[in-house]
Structure 1
Amino acid sequence: MSDFNPKQQINSVSSKIVAGLERISEAYKVLLWEKAKQLGLSPIQIQILIFVNYHAIDLCNVSHLAKEFNVTKPTISDAIRVLLKKGFILKAYPSTDSRSYAVQLTESGKEMVNETEHFAAPIKHQFETLSESNQNNLYKSIYQLIFKLNQVGILSVQRTCFGCRFYEKQGSQSYCNLLEQQLKESDIRIDCNEFELKAV
């Protein structure tokens, strides 16, 4: 029986969670589309601008962006072409291969990020009404789910502590060998700038 069948959800908490996450994903899409329509951009263009603003240039090329957002390279290339035309980004060539380029924000691109990056604020506000304990428990479930979805190939990119070469489990305690400190549950990161993939 489908997880989206209300009868299935009656006796299955996991089905209720799946249905609930689907509704939350709809909320993100609605908020992103509203912002996109206001500014004459597409949702993926907004996502690219925000991502480029906060990540290293070696992650800001067509190949990686396609993996990051689980879309095709032509979709990313089309979005980049529009952003270049609008003057929000420019091409950069971090390697000697002139065929391979990354993108960087222009000043107007940075201004556009300021206009768009808080599109999910209404959702964050609702999380902030939860107790600290409930927030921490929810966050733990989320970062574990992201890692597991990556492990089974559904999410192609993750930069959580669990997949990082600096992460170590010491008994029941998490430890970061880069920071040289133990990690509380709330210290575990979903998107770490120092992330380096653990060798298999």
Structure 2
Amino acid sequence: MSLYDPERRRNDPAARVGMALLRMAQAVKKLSLAEAEEQGLTPVQAQTLLFIRHTKPFLASVGRLAAELGTTHATAIGVVDGLIRRGLVAKEPSPSDRRVTLLRLTPQGEAVCRNLDGWGQTLAEALGRLDSDDLMSLERHLGALVWSLREAGALQVSEPCRGCVHFRENAAPGTPEPHRCVLIDRYLSEADARLACPDFTPAALVGRDSPANPR
């Protein structure tokens, strides 16, 4: 039976929660459309600009964008090409692998992104009405659900480095790039560590503590 079937929801707590999430997704879609249209963008164009702005520059590739959007490589290229024509995005080959195309914002794209700083604020305000204990509980349970969906290949999740199983904080203290990612075998500046990475894997969900935050 479908989640839309009231009889199933009456007898199945998981179905009721699933339906609540679907309704939230509908609300988020509506809000995202309105917020993007204020800047003359589609929601996927706005998401693309925000992906480029908040992702480590050497990881902001077309392929990773496609995974972030949950779409095909060809569709992601179409979105990027539209933003290039508007002068918001530029692309260039990766210096480490010229088969990989990296994306960056133009000054005009940066300006548009600043106008998107309120993206998702309506949802954040709604969640802010929960008391702190309920909000922390919701964060914990939704986080587990998100990572379960990620493991199933249903979505990509990007986060900054701290808390990732691959992150080594202050591996080279006193240098311009003091941190290290063992997954890509690369040293990182503090600015890099604060930007999102599509390969983020939370240490808490792989049964071990983060090397950056040992017990």
Task: Give the unaligned 5+ runs of structure 1.
Answer: 183-200
* Native 8 Å contact 1:83 1:89 kept in 2: yes
Task: Give the unaligned 5+ runs of structure 2.
Answer: 168-201
* Native 8 Å contact 2:66 2:76 kept in 1: yes
Corresponding residue of 1:180: 213
Percent of residue pairs identical: 22
Q: Which amino acid aligns with 2:111?
A: E
**Separation of aligned partners in 1, 2:213 and 2:164:** 17
Matches within 5 A, 1:181-196: 181-182=214-215
* Native 8 Å contact 1:66 1:72 kept in 2: yes
Give 3-state SS (helix, strand or coil) of 2:119's partner: coil
Q: Give the direction of change, closer, same or farther, for the CA distance of 1:165–1:148 in structure 2 (3 Å limit).
A: same
Higher relative contact order (CA 8 A, sep 6+): 2
Q: List 4+ stretches of structure 1 deviating above 4 A.
A: 96-99, 159-163, 166-169
Matches within 5 A, 1:146-185: 146-155=146-155, 157-159=156-158, 164-165=165-166, 175-177=209-211, 179-182=212-215
The TM-score normalised by the length of structure 2 is 0.74
| Per-residue Cα deviation, 1:131-158 (whole angstroms, up to 9, x for no partner) | 0000100000111011111222222x23
Give 3-state SS (helix, strand or coil) of 1:39's partner: coil
The TM-score normalised by the length of structure 1 is 0.79
**Separation of aligned partners in 1, 2:149 and 2:95:** 32
Q: Give the direction of change, closer, same or farther, for the CA distance of 1:144–1:35 in structure 2 (3 Å limit).
A: same
